[in-house]
Amino acid sequence: MRLLIDTHIFIWAVTWPDRLQPRLHEAILAPRNTILVSAASVWEIAIKRSLRRLTFPLERLDAVLEEAGFRHLPITASHAIEVGGLPRHHTDPFDRMLVAQACVDDLLLASDDPLMAAYAVRLFERDGGE
């Protein structure tokens, strides 16, 4: 399965894995799955860190991703165009980008945000996976 993880899921996975639902934790650890972290999540972390609302070792991002076995998902023009066509269920630009990326790239999205369920996106908890 190709799983795009929301920012909070990424942070929990690398700092507090016990906060993850057991089934999601298993999916993240399964070597057969590809776990993706969006540039939008990195951007969100950078902004929250600059506001002193979050601590995260961004200077070690590549090492953190590699240690966790995660891959970086860049933002493309197709993703940005998709955001513009999404209904306004959610005002958070980072979450809207994650939805757009999951839709464009046919990814399963993992998030604890209940507002994500309003979108026509494949969600880990709703649509399962393998």
Q: What is the pTM of this model?
A: 0.92
| 55 found inside a domain | yes
In tens, the pLDDT along 9-64 reads: 999 999 999 999 999 999 999 999 999 999 999 999 999 999 999 999 989 999 99
- Answer whether residue 117 is part of any domain: yes
Mean pLDDT, the chain, rounded, equals 94
Q: Is 130 inside any structural domain?
A: no
| Contact assessment for residue 9 and residue 44, using Cβ atoms and an 8 Å cutoff | no
Domain that holds residue 55: 2-125
Counted domains in the chain: 1
